[in-house]
Structure 1
Amino acid sequence: MITIHLQPHDPTQTAHTLQAQPGQSLMQAAVDANLPGIQADCGGLLTCATCHVVVQSDWQSKLPPMSSDEDGMLAFTAQTREAGSRLSCQIELTEELDGLQVTLPASQY
């Protein structure tokens, strides 16, 4: 199992920690856990940008490079894109990502 930590946009709120299977997307793990903050309207088809997360800087280099489709879709996020912005549907969870820390945007809409 892989442990993922998702910090709400408001730093005074408690982070959510969830367990996920390798091979799942971060988005799917969050949806399966009924986690608030990731809407995933398109179900992971890379057509909506409602699974936006900001990956903390020390984890960014452990992710595979962003595709041009993901890069383009990040222009449509409700919250302004940041250096660590990624779509959680495009982050496949691997053992190397055990302990991954991301921040959720204030809103997906």
Structure 2
Amino acid sequence: MTENVEGKEKLTNQEEEAYQGIISLTETYNQNISIGKWSGMMSMNPRNLLVFSMPVFHVEEKTTPKVKSKSKLPEAIAIQAKNYSNLKNSANHEWKTVEALGYSDTAIT
């Protein structure tokens, strides 16, 4: 979302207008078309899921406080699956590489 308060308020108003439009269209379809013949056929919140509710907006500016890292490592160590240095198979399982799968285009399974 935009960084300035005026831009946030504008977007919030547009979203509220769109939501009210959905309410109006649903009512028109259910009540006014064919004298209510289709009443209840359309729902603006199927199965009463919260995802279809009007969202709550927080327009005021907020800042996140700076926090010092407690990590003693300079940075994370990541080793791609295809770059393993050693593997150990068992009687019931043998490790195999799978090309074109995973983050580095090679996975181990």
What TM-score, normalized by structure 2, do the two folds share? 0.21
More strand by percentage = 1
Higher relative contact order (CA 8 A, sep 6+): 1
What TM-score, normalized by structure 1, do the two folds share? 0.21
More helix by percentage = 2
